[in-house]
């Protein structure tokens, strides 16, 4: 055999070895036993009440890396949770009423989207706000304007600490909305999420991954509503953290989010065209998150998960969902007529200024009256890099002879694909 043939043989044997290793791992990994143990130990959960900030942040970052999710227990102090929960329930009514009024206007005007030039305002029972992008239709205000008490907790340093470590130093909250999971009704109709006809039996699921890894991208083939999705197979990089703030206790019977541990690293996807996964059926090793009211569940948007389709606890599950992104992710360039989605719902200047100071940087991009510049840690990095450029130039001017050997210790290997 010549060298080329030998290299090809090495590559093919290495590929075969890798496949055999994966098969072995699959056949020896008992997903159900693994998840049973994870549920028993709650090794994904870290208490804001009893652990130091470093312990919570390190623990969460490790859990996100390993399982694809984590929980910070009791992040909202227990004497505050009930008031936040009541505020969110009241906000839910207001937001639904506003959305209904907007839809009525759309129906009456026969257009696809509302327009501020119609003189619509609160007097008509319609709240709309200008968005940052020119010539894009207005949207309902960001849900945060109806939840000032909740807003005081949203930029909690434990949460921002985890998000900065996993994503980047400049963060943006790209979406924020309330997610109720009703309990069974006295008339016997089953509680849960979504239309009753689509809740199925207790073993039914609704598996998906979240934006920007949501394959149907909210709008499917509708260019005005498609919010974009990363192409499969997803790069192994966290791009968005989904935070679900539970304001009621959750477990298997009271609206804990479904999740498949480890799925954030999977090449397959529940909605993948040729991945052979039934989105509505259980998956071996799936589990429901358990957490006390006031806790926040944080997941990598690539994790396979589902809203609970059933809630037999006798009380509604109340939660607020937010999607946190690094500065470099294009959070609102698409789905311009998606008046019903929660993508980058805007803030007026007064609403922005009324936010807690620590929350403002995370939502500044939502206010068209604010210049949304990069935040300090990102500027600091650029400053340090600039110093390196200057020091190179100085060396070039002051000691040109040193350049020929200055980088001799730097060797950049070219990695064959199978070793990457």
- Binding region for Fe ion (CB under 5 A): 210
Which CB atom, from 156 or from 257, has the smaller least distance to ligand AKG?
A: 257
Q: How far apart are CA 281 and CA 242, in angstroms?
A: 23
Sketch the per residue contact string, 316 through 355, with ligand AKG: x for CB under 6 A, - otherwise.
-----x----------------------------------
Among 305, 310, 345, 365, binds ligand AKG (CB under 6 A): 305
User: Least distance from C-beta 26 to ligand AKG, angstroms?
Assistant: 26
- Ranges within 397-416 binding ligand AKG (CB under 6 A): none
Beta strands in 21-76 (DSSP E): 45-47, 69-73
Give the torsion through C-alpha atoms of 380, 385, 389, 391, to 10 deg. Answer: 80
Sketch the per residue contact string, 207 through 226, with ligand AKG: x for CB under 6 A, - otherwise.
---x----------------
Q: How far apart are CA 6 and CA 2, in angstroms?
A: 6
Q: Does 365 sit near ligand AKG (CB under 6 A)? A: no
Cα end-to-end distance, the chain, whole Å: 26
Tell me the residue number closest to Fe ion, measured at CB.
210
Q: How far apart are CA 311 and CA 304, in angstroms?
A: 20
| Binds 179: which of Fe ion, ligand AKG, none (CB < 5-8 Å by kind) | ligand AKG
- Beta-ladder partners of 326: 171
Among 129, 179, 213, 264, binds ligand AKG (CB under 6 A): 179
User: Least distance from C-beta 71 to ligand AKG, angstroms?
Assistant: 12
Give me 192's structure tokens.
């849960």
Beta strands in 33-121 (DSSP E): 45-47, 69-73
Nearest to 261 by CA among 302, 311, 296, 319: 302
Q: What is the DSSP letter of 291?
A: B
Q: Is the dihedral of CA 23, 29, 31, 32 positive or negative?
A: positive
Q: How far apart are CA 45 and CA 287, in angstroms?
A: 14
Q: Does 244 sit near ligand AKG (CB under 6 A)? A: yes
| Binds 73: which of Fe ion, ligand AKG, none (CB < 5-8 Å by kind) | none
Which CB atom, from 304 or from 352, has the smaller least distance to ligand AKG?
A: 304
Tell me which long-range contacts 106-111 makes (C-beta under 8 A, separation of at least 24).
106/339
Which CB atom, from 63 or from 175, has the smaller least distance to ligand AKG?
A: 175
Q: Does 299 sit near ligand AKG (CB under 6 A)? A: no
Which CB atom, from 35 or from 257, has the smaller least distance to ligand AKG?
A: 257
Beta strands in 199-273 (DSSP E): 241-246, 258-259
Which CB atom, from 130 or from 305, has the smaller least distance to ligand AKG?
A: 305
| Binds 365: which of ligand AKG, Fe ion, none (CB < 5-8 Å by kind) | none
Which residue ranges make up the site for ligand AKG (CB under 6 A)? 179, 210, 242, 244, 257, 305, 307, 321
């Amino acid at each position: 055999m010549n060298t080329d043939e030998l290299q090809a043989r090495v590559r093919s044997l290495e590929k075969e070895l890798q496949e055999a290793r994966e098969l072995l791992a699959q056949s020896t990994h008992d997903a159900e036993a693994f998840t049973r143990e994870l549920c028993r130990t709650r090794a994904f959960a870290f208490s804001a009440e009893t652990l130091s900030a470093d312990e919570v942040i390190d623990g969460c970052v490790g859990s996100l890396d390993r399982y694809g999710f984590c929980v910070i227990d009791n992040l909202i102090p227990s004497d505050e949770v009930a008031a936040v929960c009541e505020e969110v329930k009241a906000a839910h009514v207001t937001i639904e009423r506003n959305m209904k009024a907007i839809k009525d206007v759309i129906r009456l005007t026969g257009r696809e989207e509302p327009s501020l030039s119609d003189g619509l305002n609160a007097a008509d029972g319609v709240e709309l706000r200008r968005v940052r992008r020119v010539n894009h239709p207005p949207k309902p205000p960001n849900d945060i304007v109806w939840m000032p008490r909740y807003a005081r907790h949203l930029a909690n340093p434990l949460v921002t600490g985890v998000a900065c470590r996993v994503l980047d130093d400049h963060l943006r909250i790209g979406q924020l909305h309330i997610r109720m999971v009703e309990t069974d009704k006295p008339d016997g109709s089953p509680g849960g999420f979504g239309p009753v006809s689509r809740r199925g039996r207790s073993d039914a699921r609704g598996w998906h991954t979240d934006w920007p890894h949501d394959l149907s991208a909210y709008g499917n083939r509708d260019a005005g509503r498609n919010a974009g999705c990363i192409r499969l197979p997803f790069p192994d990089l966290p791009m968005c953290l989904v935070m679900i703030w539970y304001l009621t206790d959750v477990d298997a019977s009271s609206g804990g989010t479904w999740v498949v541990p480890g799925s954030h690293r999977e090449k397959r996807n529940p909605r993948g065209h040729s991945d052979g996964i039934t989105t509505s059926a259980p998956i071996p090793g799936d589990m429901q998150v358990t957490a006390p009211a006031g806790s926040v569940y944080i997941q990598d948007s690539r994790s396979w998960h589902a809203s609970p389709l059933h809630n037999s606890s006798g009380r509604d599950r109340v939660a607020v969902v937010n999607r946190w992104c690094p500065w470099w992710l294009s959070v609102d360039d698409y789905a311009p007529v998606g008046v019903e989605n929660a993508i980058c719902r805007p803030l007026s200047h007064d609403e922005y200024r009324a936010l807690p100071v620590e929350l403002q940087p995370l939502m500044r991009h939502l206010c068209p009256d604010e210049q949304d510049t990069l935040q300090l840690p990102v500027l600091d990095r650029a400053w340090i890099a600039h110093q390196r450029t200057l020091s190179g130039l100085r060396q070039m001017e002051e000691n040109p002879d040193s350049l020929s050997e200055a980088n001799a210790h730097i060797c950049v290997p070219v990695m064959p694909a199978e070793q990457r």
